[in-house]
Amino acid sequence: MPPRSPRSRDLGTPIDRNLALELVRVTEGAAMAAGRYMGRNNKEEADQAAVDSMRRSLGFVDMDGEVVIGEGEKDEAPMLYIGERVGNGNPPQVDVAVDPIDGTRLVARGLPGGISTVALAERGTLFHTHCAYMEKLIVGPKAARVIDITDSVAVNLRRIARAEGRSVEDLTVVVLDRDRHDRLLRDIRAAGARVKLIMDGDVAAGLMAAMEHRTGIDVLMGIGGAPEAVLAACAVKCLGGGMQGRLWPRDDGERAVVRHEGKDPDAVVGLDDLCAGENVFFAATGITDGELLEGVRFRGDTAETHSLVMRSYSGTTRYVEAQHDLTRLRQRAPAEAGVS
């Protein structure tokens, strides 16, 4: 008999591996909904379309899910808010992390790299904080055990290069293009590594760093969103990569909030702190063309999507190329078609 899946901590119910395909349906629908707004310079409408589609699709997933990473607190977001219950209510009990559009500006401007993502793990295993930002360091499996975010950029890059069997000059580090990263960029360049700057989309960037040679990205460094860090951690765990973070409070008020949560704002947050689950799922679908996934293609009554889905228990990554009959979906499964 095949081995049974790890059991949910709360209910003792195994998390069915078939949830992987259900999650892909969720991100496909959100990507198709957002894809209609590609390059139309309206972030709000693109995001709302993706949120609406993802919320409807999640309602059909066979799970008792609680959103721990979403669109904001209950008073800030009408749908996919923190604490919202999603799924059909059946076991297993799971934490759900969503980002209907990772790279909203990219989609609105028609730029590469916009994706739709969702992840889940056993209930109570995903990290949550009210701190908006986190410093991150992400690498692939070979360098997973050698990184230390408290050490200098140069030291980390030398260790990563040694673990990879390469020189520092061979490494490519992806960094969000922000003024706060001026010193980080100087340090990376002084160490001899190459730099790839991105406008947005650090979930996708973290995913590419953890995938190592497939993407040409070796390391992610810098400060980005804390919610995105949890989504990235789910993907990194599925891939066997390494990740460390540190919360980055913007002021004394945020620092006090972090302390009120019982967290040390200066402590290193490891991969197992961000994602403690043993049976983690991560799915993403391209909205605009990128290095990782192709964007949505609309061809009259059909649409084409390109997705990936991962599961930590098996270590499997699947790529899914799908052709959707939009006429049938509008009639039978409007959530998947991204329509009301």
Per-residue pLDDT in tens (0 to 9) along the chain, 340 residues: 334 344 444 434 557 888 999 999 999 999 999 999 999 999 999 999 999 999 999 999 999 999 999 998 877 777 999 999 999 999 999 999 999 999 999 999 999 999 999 999 999 999 999 999 999 999 999 999 999 999 999 999 999 999 999 999 999 999 999 999 999 999 999 999 999 999 999 999 999 999 977 789 999 999 999 999 999 999 999 999 999 999 999 999 999 999 999 999 999 999 999 999 999 999 999 999 999 999 999 999 999 999 999 999 999 999 999 999 998 887 776 655 555 4
Contact between residue 220 and residue 196 where contact means Cβ atoms under 8 Å apart:
no
Query: Is 280 strand, coil or helix?
Result: coil
C-alpha span between 73 and 2 (Å, rounded): 41
Query: Is 83 strand, coil or helix?
Result: coil
Its domain, for residue 154, covers 133-274
Contact between residue 292 and residue 232 where contact means Cβ atoms under 8 Å apart:
no
Same-domain status, 138 and 268: yes
In a domain, 188, yes or no: yes
Query: pTM, whole model, 2 decimals?
Result: 0.92
C-alpha span between 290 and 300 (Å, rounded): 23
Which of 150, 277, 154, 286 lies closest to 219, judged by CA? Answer: 154
For 2-5, the CB contacts below 8 A with 24+ separation are 5/279, 5/313
The enclosing domain of 299 has a CATH number of: 3.30.540.10
Q: How many domains does the chain have?
A: 2
* pLDDT tens-digit series, residues 77-110: 779 999 999 999 999 999 999 999 999 999 999 9
Same-domain status, 267 and 296: no
Same-domain status, 201 and 266: yes
In a domain, 13, yes or no: no
Burial class (CB within 10 angstroms; exposed 0-12, middle 13-18, buried 19+) of 94: buried
Of the residues 255, 274, 293, the one at which a domain ends: 274
Same-domain status, 150 and 258: yes
Model pLDDT, residue 2: 38
Same-domain status, 150 and 263: yes
Same-domain status, 151 and 241: yes
Q: Which two tokens stand for residue 89?
A: 């209510």
In a domain, 256, yes or no: yes
Indicate the residue type of 299: R
Same-domain status, 96 and 217: no
In a domain, 115, yes or no: yes
Of the residues 247, 274, 301, the one at which a domain ends: 274
Element (H, E) at 45: helix 43-58
Model pLDDT, residue 248: 97
Model pLDDT, residue 215: 87
Same-domain status, 154 and 217: yes
Same-domain status, 137 and 269: yes
Model pLDDT, residue 77: 74
- Bridge pairing between strands 219-225 and 194-198: unpaired
Same-domain status, 206 and 229: yes
In a domain, 2, yes or no: no
Model pLDDT, residue 338: 56
Element (H, E) at 323: strand 316-325
Same-domain status, 154 and 267: yes
C-alpha span between 336 and 339 (Å, rounded): 8
C-alpha span between 231 and 70 (Å, rounded): 10
